[in-house]
Each structure stands twice: as C-alpha cells, then as structure tokens.
Amino acid sequence: MERLVTLLDAGKNDTDALQTVNDEARKSKACNVAIVMFTNSKPVAERTVKGIPVSIVEITIHAVGSGSAWKQVPGIVQYTAIVEDGVMI
C-alpha cells in the first residue's frame, strides 16, 4: 500500500499504479480494488498524495462484496489507505 500511495503521489493514475505494484510483486493480484467488510482498522503509516494526508491502515477482511452479494472469507489481514475525508483507496 505504501508503494501504491507513493506512485499516486508521483502522478500515476490508479490503474497504472496498481499495475506497477502488481508487476513489481510478480503477482497479478498483489494489489487490487475490492468491496470488503472489515474490522480492526489499525494505523501503520502516514503519507500524502498531492499534499492530501493519507493514513495507511491494517484491516482484517471478513467478507468480499460482488455488488449484489457478500462472500464470507476467513479473517485476512490486508492494508488500505484512507484519505483525509474518510475515503478509502
């Protein structure tokens, strides 16, 4: 997530930044956009994207949404970024 935030701050668009992270990790889904149900939002780092404060947080995912339904998953620890207005990246 820190790498993604760094790329966004450097001017890459969302799609290119995600692809760069996945290419560098050599995993097609190392970094992705998803609708998730989560708990335990634990701050781990503070960064900025174009001067806007961004908190990188550790979350535990319990379900993944498809837009019309939720699929429960075993608790998976992942990371996301929350910008100043509470919007997640």
Look at residue 78 and tell me whether its pLDDT is greater than 70. Answer: yes
Tens digits of residue pLDDT in 26-46: 988 888 999 999 998 899 999
Instruction: Say how far apart CA 58 and CA 2 lie, in whole Å.
Output: 12
Instruction: Say how far apart CA 10 and CA 67 lie, in whole Å.
Output: 31
Look at residue 87 and tell me whether its pLDDT is greater than 80. Answer: no
Domain-by-domain residue ranges, the chain? 2-83
pTM (two decimals): 0.82
Cβ neighbourhood burial of 30 (10 Å; 0-12, 13-18, 19+): middle
